[in-house]
Amino acid sequence: MSINQKILDRYDASMDDEFERQVLYRAIAISYAWVINLMFGTCAVLAWVLPGVYALWAVLPMGVLIFSMAIRDFWLRQYAPTPRITPYSKLGWVFAVVVSILIMSGIYRNTLGVVDPDMSRGMIVGGVVGAIGSLFVLRDISTKQRQRDRQRLDAQLGEDD
């Protein structure tokens, strides 16, 4: 039995019927969205309060999130296609942009006098270019991955389109 299965069994055992389980899993989805937002806010705070080069540790919580999302995606793709990317609300976009600016400016401010100025500027340019680039390619990559997952799962089940 895998660790992931043990986690699911523990959550399933905490509820009495299918309706309660469904509500629990929806609540977990809601809390997951809040965790992501709170994690980004934590990154912004760390970027401003950690001195000097230590400000680079502000991105560590993002690594934890990426790792947990990779585990989620690996498990999910065994049973269902990759989910569609749904757009943020206007408030979500504002939050993401403001927090991203806070993270980058905090790291820039704290590392400027400690490391080579070109490195600080390079981190900012790389972060901005990477974020903008991901906006353009992420949806296409996700759509293609969803199609591949669906084809693979259909082939495993022996179904035709």
Domain ranges of the chain: 3-157
pLDDT band at 19 (very low <50, low <70, confident <90, very high): very high
pLDDT band at 86 (very low <50, low <70, confident <90, very high): confident
Crossing angle of helices 3-13 and 18-49, in 10° steps, is: 120
**Apex 97 CA angle, 26 and 36, nearest 5:** 30
Ordered alpha helix ranges (H), the chain: 3-13, 18-49, 60-76, 90-111, 117-157
Supply the Cα-derived Rg of the chain in whole angstroms. 20
pTM to 2 decimal places: 0.80
Instruction: Say what percent of the chain tops pLDDT 90.
Output: 62
Instruction: Name the token pair of 79.
Output: 């049973």
Residue with tokens 């793709």: 77
